[in-house]
Amino acid sequence: MIRLPLLYSFRRCPYAMRARLAICASQTRVELREIVLRDKPAHMLEISPKGTVPVLQLPDQSVIDESLDIMLWALRGNDPQNWLSPQAGSLDDMLALIAHMDGPFKHHLDRFKYASRFEGANPDEHYASAISALRELANRLEKTPYLFGRTPSLADQALFPFVRQFCNAAPERFASEAPKPVQTWLSERVATPLFASVFGTKWPKWQPGDEPTFFPQLPCD
Ligand SMILES: N[C@@H](CCC(=O)N[C@@H](CS)C(=O)NCC(=O)O)C(=O)O
């Protein structure tokens, strides 16, 4: 029997979402184990003690437990839509933008969305700072339909799950305050069949002994 990579995932987590997007786009198949964050499986913690999803264990037992590394692993294996070779700019340019958004933007997003968990956080200030970070995306999206040119790339796919999370934290405010090109870009990303493939199914929580669940269930568009 051919062993598939094993992915510990959580459907709503934007980091896990970006990993599933790249797994789909690279036509990779994995065994998916859906977890809940408050009750992490012992095997997941054994192979990745830091306790975050996504975690990918390869058939040779090696482990990749950073979402961006999982994207790069999948796409370096097969990249039929050229996510790693954008039509404008380079992979390094995309990684720099992703790092900026994973850093400051996510920092402000969390302090807006979960203000009560951060002592002294002023949600309005963090909202404004997150909107400023989105202006950087808007500057690009005013020139081309996607962040690095005329076709979607790694940067679009790695980042929209976080912008979606920010939008969903306060949809009306996002509609009035977020830059319009970012709103259009986000609406288009979440309407794709690819997004439906990674988010449209509600997987039951995995328990040891369960029959394997394969992801994707069908080839992704
Ligand atoms: N840098 C990690 C971050 C992953 C992460 O923080 N995932 C969240 C869920 S969205 C998590 O697992 N948090 C652990 C917890 O809440 O217990 C990555 O890119 O994979």
Residues 116 and 160 in one domain: yes
Q: What is the rounded distance in angstroms from the CA atom of residue 145 to the CA atom of residue 210?
A: 43
- Judged by DSSP in three states, 77 sits in helix
* Cα 73 to ligand 1 centre (Å): 18
**Token reading at 157:** 């796919």
pLDDT beyond 70 at 128: yes
Please, which residues bridge with residue 55 across strands? Answer: 8
Residue 2 binned pLDDT confidence (cut-offs 50, 70, 90): low
Helix (H) or strand (E) holding 78: none
209 lies in some domain: yes
86 lies in some domain: no
Residues 106 and 186 in one domain: yes
**Token reading at 21:** 């997007």
The DSSP bridge pattern shows strands 30-34 and 55-57 to be unpaired
Residue 220 binned pLDDT confidence (cut-offs 50, 70, 90): confident
Residues 176 and 201 in one domain: no
pLDDT beyond 80 at 97: yes
Q: What is the model's pLDDT at position 143?
A: 97
User: What percentage of the chain has pLDDT greater than the value 90?
Assistant: 94
Decide whether any atom of ligand 1 lies within 6 Å of the 77 Cβ. Answer: no
Q: What is the rounded distance in angstroms from the CA atom of residue 178 to the CA atom of residue 122?
A: 19
1 lies in some domain: no
Q: Which atom of ligand 1 is nearest to the CA of 54?
A: 20
Q: What is the rounded distance in angstroms from the CA atom of residue 219 to the CA atom of residue 119?
A: 45
Pocket test for ligand 1, best of 37, 47, 52 (most atoms within 8 A of CB): 52
pLDDT, one tens digit per residue, over 25-75 is 999 999 999 999 999 999 999 999 999 999 999 999 999 999 999 999 999
Q: Who's near 18: CB < 8 A, 6+ residues apart?
A: 67, 68, 71, 157, 158, 161
Nearest Cα to Cα of residue 143 among 105, 176, 181? 181
HSE-up of residue 188 (Cα within 13 Å, Cβ side): 13
Average pLDDT over residues 127-131: 97
How many beta carbons lie within 10 A of that of residue 129, not counting itself? 16
Residues 22 and 74 in one domain: yes
How many beta carbons lie within 10 A of that of residue 213, not counting itself? 16
Q: Which atom of ligand 1 is nearest to the CA of 51?
A: 14
Q: What is the model's pLDDT at position 31?
A: 97
Residues 109 and 185 in one domain: yes
Packing angle between helix 154-169 and helix 180-190, nearest 10 degrees?
Answer: 100
Residues 182 and 201 in one domain: no
Residue of the nearest CA to atom 1 in ligand 1? 66
* Cα 142 to ligand 1 centre (Å): 31
Domain that holds residue 75: 6-80+196-215
207 CB burial (10 A radius; 0-12, 13-18, 19+):
exposed
Q: Extract long-range pairs of 120-123: CB within 8 Å, 24+ residues apart.
A: none
- Judged by DSSP in three states, 215 sits in strand
Residue 182 binned pLDDT confidence (cut-offs 50, 70, 90): very high
148 lies in some domain: yes
CATH number, domain at 183?
A: 1.20.1050.10
220 lies in some domain: no
User: What percentage of the chain has pLDDT greater than the value 70?
Assistant: 99
pLDDT beyond 80 at 1: no
Residues 97 and 133 in one domain: yes
Residues 57 and 105 in one domain: no
